[in-house]
Amino acid sequence: MSDTKVLLAVNGTLMRGLELNPNMLAVGAEFVAESATTPDYRCWSINDRHPGMVRYPNAGAAIALELWAVPPAGLGSILQKEPAGLSIGKVTLQDGQEVLGVLAEPWLVEGQREITETGGWRNYTGHHHTK
């Protein structure tokens, strides 16, 4: 990974093979690894279009995600194309590392289907990356 890139944790449609992954590739982002959060996050399906992940310290589960190396200039482009209510914040990985990641604003998940127990968006939707 180049020093000029920022590590970004994504947990939904920005992942490999999914709907918004071309937004990652368009800015020169590179897949680094599959990972997961600490068990401090909960996840919802937002109208079955994309997930919304919110931190709930000591009251969540480990959520599967992907780590990508993103050119700093590309972060703004990626975020501008994300659905309303999603933002970039700090996410703690299972190894204790803190990285930037896509999180949902609390209002976004109100009244939506919680999918925390599935462990993440790919498990919920059945869209598994094969490679």
Amino acid identity of residue 92, one-letter, is T
Domains and CATH numbers, the chain: 6-121 (3.10.490.10)
Phi/psi of residue 126, each to 5°? 80, 10
Main-chain phi, psi angles of 42, to 5 degrees: -125, 155
Is the distance from CB of 118 to CB of 128 less than 8 angstroms?
no
Each residue's pLDDT tens digit, 64-83: 999 999 999 999 999 999 99
pTM for the whole thing? 0.92
For 7-57, the pLDDT digits (tens) are 999 999 999 999 999 999 999 999 999 999 999 999 999 999 999 999 999
3-state secondary structure at position 1 = coil
First CA to last CA distance, the chain = 20
Closest CA to 66 of 34, 29, 103: 34
